[in-house]
Amino acid sequence: MGQRILVVDDDKEIVRVVKAYLEQAGFYTLTAHTGETALHIIRHDRPDLVVLDLMLPDRDGWDITRVVRSDEALARTPIVMLTARVEDGDKIAGLELGADDYIPKPFNPNELVARVRAVLRRAGDTFTQPHVIQFGSLLLDVDRHEVQVDGRPVELTPTEFNILQALMENPGHAFTRLELIEKGLGYAYEGMERTLDSHIKNLRKKIEPDPASPIYIHTVFGVGYRMSLRE
């Protein structure tokens, strides 16, 4: 059986099409048409990834994402948002809640499958040798896909984890926004800079003592971001 993907959308035709393309690509597909059904499946069947529409008849996709990210047992579940709402504000709100990717409708089903594979690849990346990175009070364990701050576990999405890993592996290096988004998402194109800024904002909330005055992830004006330690 392939990896399990939960497709959540109140449009049954969209669910049918996405299910067909995912299953043709070798995935096992679960489906839901309401937020409550989606949460029940996420809690009981633990899908490997959720393709989540924002506009649902009961609980919207933002609310479902909040619930998943706040539950320690579910927080690492990758989420790809699929929605007709294409305004930058909606996209940024979804990413800041912890979505790993965002696909606007109408969409190309083959692109959706490619993005699902990219997110799963990031979520499941492992290395044959132990790979632990220490930087200040930050500890990142690549094998276990775990991050600690002052010995306290911190839950990151797959995208956030990969961005932080790139920064910690290259301390002092000034990454452009597109370089970092490629590290996190596996692809990049012009116009994605605000996507990266949203992920950095989330990371700072999770690892910085004071996100407004970061000591780890610093903005390099006109370029992007770098990891350096400021006491």
Q: Which domains does the chain have, with CATH numbers?
A: 4-124 (3.40.50.2300), 132-227 (1.10.10.10)
The pLDDT tens digits of the residues spanning 106-142 come to 889 999 999 999 889 877 753 334 478 888 899 999 8
Percent of the chain with pLDDT over 70: 90
CB burial of residue 163 (10 Å; 0-12, 13-18, 19+)? buried
Using the CB atoms, write b or e for 189-220: b if 16+ within 10 Å: eeebeebbbbbbebbbebbbeeeeebbbbeee
Length of the chain: 231
pLDDT at residue 54 tops 60:
yes
Element (H, E) at 175: strand 175-176
Mean pLDDT for the chain overall: 86
The pLDDT tens digits of the residues spanning 175-215 come to 998 888 887 777 666 667 778 888 999 999 999 999 999 99
